[in-house]
Structure 1
Amino acid sequence: MTLTTSNATKNKTVAAWLAFVGGPLGLHRFYLYGWFDTLGWLLPIPTALGVYGIQRVMEYGQDDQFSWILVPLLGFTFAGCALRAILYGLMTPEKWNARFNPQSPLDAPAGQTRWATIFAIGLALMIGTAVLMASIAFSFQRYFEYQIEEARKISQ
């Protein structure tokens, strides 16, 4: 996989915000790796499936077993993209520029950490953690409730 065909400078702050806000749609991947990035095109699939799971919960209620699988996909995808935003934001300028701006000097401004980068890291940490914990809690709650219902059926 090539990084990009363009020689445009990739800004660390922009990449962190794109990973946090538009990560489930693959926007950060397209920004960094170009339009031919396979993972960028695959990221919207679990996102769309998770949104479909939320629609099923709203339509059929929380007892819909198919939604138990689909809803966490959205949460895990969002949490993974929030983690990617944190990793981008915490990357050193030298490592960022060596990886995404090889034509620039290692201390180029595009790799510098700014206040906007720090805000992206903080929001991604807070919201990404909350979404991840909510997804795990939803999944386990529904799973254990299902196990209890099945045990009741067996015992009757």
Structure 2
Amino acid sequence: MKNKTIAAWLAFVGGPLGLHRFYLHGLGDLVGWMLPIPTALGLYGIERARLIGLDDGVSWLLIPLVGFTIAGCALTAIFYGLMSQEKWNARFNAGAAEDAAPGRTGWLTIGAVVCSLLIGSTVLMASIAFSFQRYFEHQVEEGRKISQ
């Protein structure tokens, strides 16, 4: 029996590592094994920017990967948390009754949804703002090179 509250919290807290996918689909889940790749690349971009500086083009291409992965996993947590009890049990607890307890939405589930909405939207907007800022700064620098 797969619990909706546990899945929502795993998607929010451990989503970039694929923990929610392993919980729901098992260790053979390909998407679960692929999720740490953009997370690791984004963290490498952050470390590279810390060492080299933000003028490094590779780092500003890699940094948004971790942000978009975190935001996507937060969206998944919201999706899990807001899924109806009947749909949850039909999808993840196929042998159980429609009103089985693991599919219920409680206060802890709502807490996962609220935290995911707060953190996920903040990280998403920060990633978009960072990406566009670096892109437009790069365009301005290229324009200056052409004009000289």
* TM-score of the two chains, using structure 1 as the length reference: 0.94
Provide, for residues 72-115 of structure 1, a one-character-per-residue CA deviation record: whole Å limited to 9, x for no partner.
00000000000000000000000000000011100001000000
Sequence identity percentage: 69
Whole-Å Cα distance in 2 between the matches of residues 21 and 14 of structure 1?
Answer: 10
2:77 to 73, 85, 100: 85
Whole-Å Cα distance in 2 between the matches of residues 114 and 61 of structure 1?
Answer: 45
Letter in 2 for 1:131: V
Write the mapping of 1:144-155 to structure 2, written as runs, cut at 5 A.
144-155=136-147
Whole-Å Cα distance in 2 between the matches of residues 50 and 85 of structure 1?
Answer: 21
Letter in 2 for 1:154: I
Partner residue of 2:2?
10
2:12 to 20, 24, 27: 20
2:46 to 54, 61, 77: 54
Aligned-pair CA distance for 1:68: 1.1
Partner residue of 2:28?
36
Number of residue-to-residue matches in the alignment: 148
Partner residue of 1:109?
101
Whole-Å Cα distance in 2 between the matches of residues 61 and 149 of structure 1?
Answer: 16
Whole-Å Cα distance in 2 between the matches of residues 118 and 70 of structure 1?
Answer: 32
Letter in 2 for 1:126: L
Partner residue of 1:66?
58
Gaps of 5+ in 2: none
* TM-score of the two chains, using structure 2 as the length reference: 0.99
